[in-house]
A and B are shown apart, each in its own frame.
Chain A
Amino acid sequence: MVDFLKGATNLLASPEGTAVEGAGDTRGLTPLIAHSIKTVEGVATGNVLLAASGVVGVAEDLKKNPAAKTEYPATGGAAKTEGYAPILPTGTSALDPKMLDYEDALKVLEANFDQLDLADGKKSGSLSKDELRRAAHDTSLSPQLRSAARFLTENAALFERVDSSGLLARFMPVVGKLYNDDRLKLSGVRSELKRVGEEFSRYGRPERPRTPKPEPETCPPSTGTPGTRPPSTGGPSPGTPSPGTRPPTPGTGPTPGTGGGQGPVTGGGKPPTSKDPDFREYLEAVAVLRDNWGTFDTAAGTKDDRVTREDLAALLANPSTSSTLKKAAQYLKDHPEYFDRLEMAAGIDGRDGIIGWLDVKAELELSGGAKPGTSPTKVSSARSIVDNPNMSIEDKVQAILGAISTETDAEILQVMDSMASAGEDRAALGTSDADKKKAATLDGNMRELELRLQRLLEKRKSMFDLMSNMSAKFNEMAKTAISNLRGA
Chain B
Amino acid sequence: MGRVIKHEATVAMRMESGAVQRMKSFARGEATWAEVEGMTFEEAKAIAQVGCDLAAAGRLEEARILFEGLVVGNPRDAGAHAALGTVYQKLGRLEEAIAEYSAALARDAGHPVALANRGELYLRKGERQGFTDLSNAVEVDPHGETAAGRRARALVKSITLAAVEKLKQDAQQP
Contacts and interface: CB of A to CB of B under 8 A. Distances in A.
A438 B59 CA distance: 103
B3 interface: yes
Interface stretch (A63-71, A144-152, A442-450): A63-71
Given A12-B131, A83-B74, A76 B40 contact: no
Interface string B136-174: 001100000111101101111111111111111010000
A76 B7 contact: no
A97 B147 CA distance: 48
Interface string A198-224: 000001000001010000000000000
Interface string A65-95: 1111111111110011111111100000011
Contacts of B3: 94, 203
Nearest to A40: B164
B11 A97 contact: yes
A381 interface: no
B164 A36 contact: yes
Given A11-B126, A55-B161, A65 B150 contact: yes
A281 B89 CA distance: 77
B106 interface: no
A85 B22 CA distance: 10
Nearest to B31: A83
B89 A58 contact: no
Contacts of B5: 94
Contact of A80 (B41, B52, B120, B130): B41
Nearest to A67: B120
Interface in A40-75: 40-41, 43-44, 54-55, 58-59, 61-62, 64-75
B24 interface: no
Contact of A61 (B38, B112, B153): B153
Interface string B93-112: 00001000000000110001
Contact of B51 (A18, A29, A61, A72): A72
B161 A68 contact: no
Given A62-B154, A67-B117, A33 B6 contact: no
B23 interface: no
A485 B45 CA distance: 58
B38 to A, nearest CB: 4
Contacts, number: 208
Interface string A310-334: 0000000000000000000000000
A11 B8 contact: no
Q: How many interface residues does chain A have, given as a range?
A: 35 or more
Interface stretch (A2-10, A233-241, A425-433, A472-480): A2-10
A84 B40 contact: yes
B17 interface: no
Contacts of B170: 13
Nearest to B112: A73
A30 to B, nearest CB: 5
B42 A94 contact: no
A481 interface: no
A30 B164 contact: no
A62 B6 contact: no
A64 B148 CA distance: 11
Nearest to A51: B161
B6 A96 contact: yes
Given A4-B123, A39-B161, A67-B89, A82 B76 contact: yes
A84 B39 contact: yes
A141 B172 CA distance: 105
Contacts of A74: 45
A9 B135 contact: no
Contact of B108 (A41, A64, A76): A76
Interface string B36-53: 011111111100110110
B35 interface: yes
B113 A73 contact: yes
Given A12-B163, A73-B112, 19 more contacts: A8-B159, A17-B163, A20-B164, A61-B157, A65-B148, A70-B52, A70-B63, A70-B83, A71-B52, A72-B51, A73-B79, A73-B146, A76-B78, A82-B76, A83-B77, A85-B35, A87-B40, A96-B7, A211-B10
21 contacts: A8-B163, A28-B135, A30-B135, A40-B160, A61-B150, A61-B151, A64-B150, A67-B120, A68-B97, A70-B56, A72-B51, A72-B52, A72-B80, A73-B113, A74-B45, A76-B108, A80-B77, A84-B35, A94-B3, A97-B11, A203-B4
